[in-house]
Amino acid sequence: MTHVQQRRPQYGSKWMSAAGLLALVYASPALAAPAQDLTVFNLPRPSETLSATSISYSLPALSLSNPALTSRRDDDAAHFGVPTFQSAPSLSPDVKPILSPLAYGPQDSTSDVGDRPDPQRFRSFGSQVGAIKWEVAALFGYYTLANSQKIFEDPTWPHFQKEGWFGKDTRNLGVDKLAHTYSAYIISEIAYARLKRKTGDAPGIALTAAAIGSGIMLYTEIWDSIEPTGGWSWEDVAFNSAGAGLSVLRNTVPGLDRKLDFRLMIMPNSNIYSRQGKRHFEQQRYFFALKLGGFRAFENSPARFLELHAGYYAKDFTNEDRAAGIEPKRRIFLGVGLNLRELFFKNSRSRVGRAAGEALDYFQLPYTAIHRHITN
């Protein structure tokens, strides 16, 4: 009985950017040649050379010297452009050569040899940054545009300011510090995704991505240093570094990205969304999500749709609240949430679906989790 083996196409995607960077997904089905005497015959790419050791025959009771089979084999080989052999040593009926078939087609978005850049060309920090120079320029341009109005708002000479950490006497009860962590983390993740694609996953790109994230956030701190009500804050710098470091861990510890996310959830207020100010910070909840679906014990059980959350938010710290004598509240919370990516987009084949799934590693939709604060 003839068995024809065929590899199923595998799909992979990487998406991440400030507004949502979507990378193309490559899929390649394997080709199998029908033949009664050929158990497996995977065709090579046009640029590949087939060697003698690449051909696998099923020999239950035949030898390579059998004239009829040799003729059939040569005809099949000629049809597919494979070199034939005029003579071959006879094999004993007890000998059954079994050689592994040719690997054909990319298993993920970075395995296509024809399109994948050579990682050896991008071993230095400079070459890696150069590979995504336009992405880096776009990020610097975005933050330049976002901060440029400070030039026209009574700027001062660059100066330092001690802002504190999470104390009740701080301006935003530490939520702004987590915002710095999250921003550095997201920028590092964007840079890592682009570096992985542009350099063929060269060694050290996680550190390069973190350096880019930290560098851009240091650049924004320079803008803060000219604000009359602000200043260069070493507390901000520390939390920027924490966000970049978290990205390094997530992209270097095997399997961690499948188990742990750092996310932001914005809870609507009376205005639905406040773009800036203390009300803006009051809406933000930053938390870690431990995804049960990333663990082997739960990957095929209904528990894979659930996550365990632990995070922080604050409230009642606006100037009006303080003037009214309302005590500011700092809340560490625990909770359970829905893994929306696992639920809706795990095996999505559309670009929009894959993009939405990647975005849900960084954002949590409101009202899709139950949180209970354990501090006040």
Higher pLDDT, 88 or 143: 143
CA 201/CA 209 separation, integer angstroms: 12
Q: Is the pLDDT of residue 31 over 60?
A: no
Q: Is the pLDDT of residue 325 over 60?
A: yes
H helix intervals, 106-260: 125-131, 133-147, 175-199, 205-224, 234-252, 256-259
Are both 260 and 137 inside the same structural domain?
A: no
Are both 317 and 350 inside the same structural domain?
A: yes
* Domain stops at, among 114, 146, 179: 114
Q: Is the pLDDT of residue 92 over 70?
A: no
Q: Is the pLDDT of residue 91 over 80?
A: no
What phi, psi does 182 have (nearest 5°)? Answer: -65, -40
H or E stretch covering 359? helix 351-359
* DSSP characters over 36-94: SS-SB-BPPPTT----GGG-B---SS--TT-HHHHHHHHHHHHHTT----S------TT
CA 93/CA 65 separation, integer angstroms: 12
| pTM across the whole model | 0.70
Q: Exposure string (b/e) for 285-323, b if CB count within 10 Å is 16 or more?
A: bbbebebbbbeeeeeeeeebbbbebebbbbbbbbeebee
Are both 315 and 358 inside the same structural domain?
A: yes
106-119 average pLDDT score: 59
Are both 107 and 207 inside the same structural domain?
A: no
* DSSP characters over 315-338: ES-SHHHHHTTPPPEEEEEEEEEE
Supply the pLDDT for residue 75: 54
Task: Quote the number of domains for the chain.
Answer: 3
Q: Is the pLDDT of residue 17 over 70?
A: no
Are both 132 and 158 inside the same structural domain?
A: yes
Q: Mind listing the pLDDT tens digit for each residue in 276-308? A: 889 999 999 999 999 999 999 998 999 999 999
Are both 121 and 242 inside the same structural domain?
A: yes
Burial of 240 by CB count in 10 Å (0-12 exposed, 13-18 middle, 19+ buried)? Answer: buried
Are both 109 and 155 inside the same structural domain?
A: no
Supply the pLDDT for residue 376: 83
Helix axis angle, 205-224 to 175-199, nearest 10°: 140
Confidence category of residue 51, pLDDT binned at 50, 70, 90: very low
Confidence category of residue 77, pLDDT binned at 50, 70, 90: very low
Q: Are 32 and 6 in contact (CB under 8 A)?
A: yes
Are both 2 and 89 inside the same structural domain?
A: yes
The three-point CA angle 374-339-269 to 5° equals 55
Confidence category of residue 115, pLDDT binned at 50, 70, 90: confident
170-174 average pLDDT score: 94
Supply the pLDDT for residue 270: 87
Confidence category of residue 160, pLDDT binned at 50, 70, 90: very high
CA 59/CA 65 separation, integer angstroms: 12
Q: Are 37 and 72 in contact (CB under 8 A)?
A: yes
Are both 49 and 38 inside the same structural domain?
A: yes
Are both 262 and 278 inside the same structural domain?
A: yes
- End-to-end CA gap in the chain: 72
278 SS3 class: helix
Supply the pLDDT for residue 224: 94
* Domain stops at, among 114, 145, 177: 114
342-366 average pLDDT score: 92
Q: Are 314 and 174 in contact (CB under 8 A)?
A: yes
* Domain stops at, among 235, 252, 269: 252
Are both 170 and 157 inside the same structural domain?
A: yes
Are both 270 and 369 inside the same structural domain?
A: yes
Q: Is the pLDDT of residue 165 over 60?
A: yes
Q: Is the pLDDT of residue 2 over 80?
A: no
Q: Is the pLDDT of residue 36 over 90?
A: no
CA 208/CA 214 separation, integer angstroms: 10
Q: Is the pLDDT of residue 182 over 90?
A: yes
Q: Which residue is associated with the tokens 């710095």?
A: 180
The three-point CA angle 194-14-299 to 5° equals 145
46-70 average pLDDT score: 42
Q: Is the pLDDT of residue 21 over 50?
A: no
Which residue range is the domain that position 297 belongs to? 255-376
Q: Which residue is associated with the tokens 């390649």?
A: 28
Confidence category of residue 346, pLDDT binned at 50, 70, 90: confident
Q: Is the pLDDT of residue 101 over 80?
A: no
Range scoring the smallest mean pLDDT among 39-43, 219-223, 336-340, 355-359? 39-43
Q: Tokens for 138?
A: 């776009």
